[in-house]
Chains A and B, each alone.
Chain A
């Protein structure tokens, strides 16, 4: 799977929007962009994924650049519960290699 690059850490204030960037310059045409997060002492949690178009769900929005070499996870109003490590992961469509490659991710700190 192609690799991704994320900032080590980001900070936000509660109730403000958060934009978490991810660079994936070697992405292939069939790679999905997945985001997971891991809260302290918990298992990773699926957030969102997409292929080409922007995606929205109840947790977040995913904005994908037109050339697909980067994407941004958007938390519209950060809460204290959103403090976690966020992982951006590429997964090939049709890939039977089911593993998720977790890099270092971005540690998000949310201040009250």
Chain B
């Protein structure tokens, strides 16, 4: 158990809909990262927050947005869903935002299926 929790575990929704994925980092961790894993793309970094502020953006679509709240939990919002958005979405956390020194701890993921 990494200490990172994600809800829900599974989500099935239709094209065009909007969903929210939730992540609670390990106690004491200030950084939260979101990743997407699909069969053809592998693990792709989406976005990072540190203590409530956006720190880095990766291959995140404009239809996707995220935020980190004062209690440090984070939400990833996916809107106007398309079939290609079906994937595993992982959240990870780390103590700091110094990329090299700190390891990241990953949650169990949310499996999103868009039909």
Complex Cα distance A44/B31, Å? 17
Which one, A15-23, A60-68, A69-77, A96-104, is touching chain B?
A96-104
Contact indicator A42/B108 (Cβ below 8 Å):
yes
Number of interface residues of A (CB under 8 A): 27
Contact with A along B84-108 (1 / 0, CB 8 A): 0000001010100111110111111
Contact indicator B99/A95 (Cβ below 8 Å):
yes
Contact indicator A96/B55 (Cβ below 8 Å):
yes
Interface set, chain A 45-65, CB cutoff 8 A to B: 45-46, 49, 51
Does residue A24 face the partner (Cβ distance < 8 Å to B)? no
Task: Report the nearest B residue to A1, measured CB to CB.
Answer: B99
Contact indicator A95/B106 (Cβ below 8 Å):
no
Contact indicator A98/B31 (Cβ below 8 Å):
yes
Q: Which of chain A's residues have a CB closer than 8 A to the CB of B104?
A: 36, 44, 46, 98, 100
Contact with B along A81-112 (1 / 0, CB 8 A): 00000000001111111111111100000000
Interface set, chain B 25-46, CB cutoff 8 A to A: 31, 33, 35, 42-45
Contact indicator A99/B56 (Cβ below 8 Å):
yes
If A44-B90, A44-B106, A104-B42 touch, does A96 touch B101 (CB 8 Å cutoff)? no
Chain A interface (Cβ < 8 Å from any Cβ of B): 30-32, 34, 36, 38, 42-46, 49, 51, 91-104
7 A–B contacts, CB within 8 A, in A order = A42-B108, A46-B104, A93-B101, A96-B56, A99-B45, A99-B58, A100-B45
